[in-house]
Structure 1
Amino acid sequence: MKDRWLGLRADDCVTPSGHIVEPYYVLETPDIALVLGIDAADQVILVRQYRHAHGGPSLELPGGAIDPADPDILAAAEREMREETGYIFADAEHVVTLNADPARYANRMHLVRARVTAAGPAQPDPGEDIAVLRVPRAEALQLAQSGAIVGAVHAAMILIGLSGTGSCPSPDCGSSDRTADKTRAFRQYD
């Protein structure tokens, strides 16, 4: 099954120990760029939007799917930030790349931390009903730690992004070469 939103594939999986799992189902969805936007008043920009699977509104970081036309992760992140909030980047850095659920999903989630400025009204996609919120850093941390931000990746990205860590640790951590990424990551545990 495959459409514009997701794909489902059945792999023949052979684990490193030689165990065979077939079929092993993998969900394919686009990679996502999320933005931890911080304005000149040191407020974190969040969005509240309806999420059908959740059954109601969800407090989140602005972001969305990386389009094939986006030249890179930063461009995708800024496009999503502008569409959802009306803010643009003054400066930005790619902080980290995570998998939401590496057991089932093949996509990656990229966090971009940015200083942002208001540039005009939001221009959400059709069907998006988005409210933009500005909250102090301490409140954003509290929302992530308390479970008020129900999306696990969004909460984790806020905690990571506000922890003061630097940019993505390897120059190619945002690359599309997943095999190389996985090989590098697993080598350290061999």
Structure 2
Amino acid sequence: MRDRWIRVRADDCTTASGAVVAPYYVLEFPDFVHVLAIDRSDRVVLVRQYRHGLRGMSLELPGGMMDQAETDILGAAARELREETGFVGGALSYVITLSPEPARYENRLHLVRATDLSVGATSPEATEDIEVLLVPRQEAMRLALSGAIAHAAHVGLLLIGLNAPA
């Protein structure tokens, strides 16, 4: 199966011990970029939006898929932050790249920190209905640790981003 969002690939896989797993399905998605944005009042920018897989609202970091030809992680992060929240980061810095699910997904998940933010206009995609929330750092940490942020990758990214050296 292949479309603009996903490709499913069936590989023949042999483990290090010689066991054969065939077919072994791998999901190919574009890379994702997410932004830990911190405003001038030291508040974390979060977004709340409907997620159909969850069948409900999800509290998350701003971000999304990188465009097919996009290779500039910081540029993609700036674009996603601006589109979803209206914020423009005065200082963008790369934090880390992880795998969202190394057993099944081929793509990568990039985290960028944005600080010294200025407010601009949002331009979400037609399919996005986004509410922007500004929460103090400790509240963001509490939301991540309490399960109020349900997206496991976003919990991990938020905790890494809040604890990584600036």
| Alignment-derived partner of residue 10 in structure 1 | 10
Deviation at residue 121 of structure 1 after TM alignment:
1.8
Deviation at residue 89 of structure 1 after TM alignment:
1.3
Measure, in 2, the Cα distance between the counterparts of 1:100 and 1:24.
18
Measure, in 1, the Cα distance between the counterparts of 2:106 and 2:71.
21
| Alignment-derived partner of residue 120 in structure 1 | 120
Measure, in 1, the Cα distance between the counterparts of 2:67 and 2:112.
16
- Name the aligned partner's letter for residue 156 of structure 1: G
- Name the aligned partner's letter for residue 38 of structure 2: I
| Alignment-derived partner of residue 182 in structure 1 | none
Q: Secondary structure at the match of 2:163?
A: coil
Deviation at residue 164 of structure 1 after TM alignment:
2.8
Considering only aligned residues, what root-mean-square deviation do their CA atoms show, in Å? 1.2
Q: Secondary structure at the match of 2:97?
A: strand
Measure, in 2, the Cα distance between the counterparts of 1:105 and 1:69.
19
| Alignment-derived partner of residue 158 in structure 2 | 158
| 1:44-83 correspondence to structure 2 within 5 Å | 44-83=44-83
Decide which structure has greater strand share.
2
Measure, in 1, the Cα distance between the counterparts of 2:140 and 2:2.
36
Q: Secondary structure at the match of 2:115?
A: strand
Contact 2:88 2:120 in 1 (8 A): no
Contact 2:88 2:119 in 1 (8 A): yes
| 1:1-190 correspondence to structure 2 within 5 Å | 1-165=1-165
Measure, in 2, the Cα distance between the counterparts of 1:138 and 1:6.
36
Measure, in 2, the Cα distance between the counterparts of 1:70 and 1:25.
26
Measure, in 2, the Cα distance between the counterparts of 1:93 and 1:148.
26
Q: Secondary structure at the match of 1:129?
A: coil
- Name the aligned partner's letter for residue 164 of structure 1: A
Contact 1:87 1:116 in 2 (8 A): no
Q: Secondary structure at the match of 1:46?
A: strand
Q: Secondary structure at the match of 1:162?
A: helix
TM-score w.r.t. structure 2 length? 0.96
Contact 2:95 2:164 in 1 (8 A): no
Uncovered stretches (5+) of structure 1, i.e. residues with no partner: 167-190
Measure, in 1, the Cα distance between the counterparts of 2:2 and 2:16.
28
- Name the aligned partner's letter for residue 144 of structure 1: A
- Name the aligned partner's letter for residue 93 of structure 1: S
Q: Secondary structure at the match of 2:131?
A: strand
TM-score w.r.t. structure 1 length? 0.84
Deviation at residue 69 of structure 1 after TM alignment:
3.8
Contact 2:30 2:68 in 1 (8 A): no
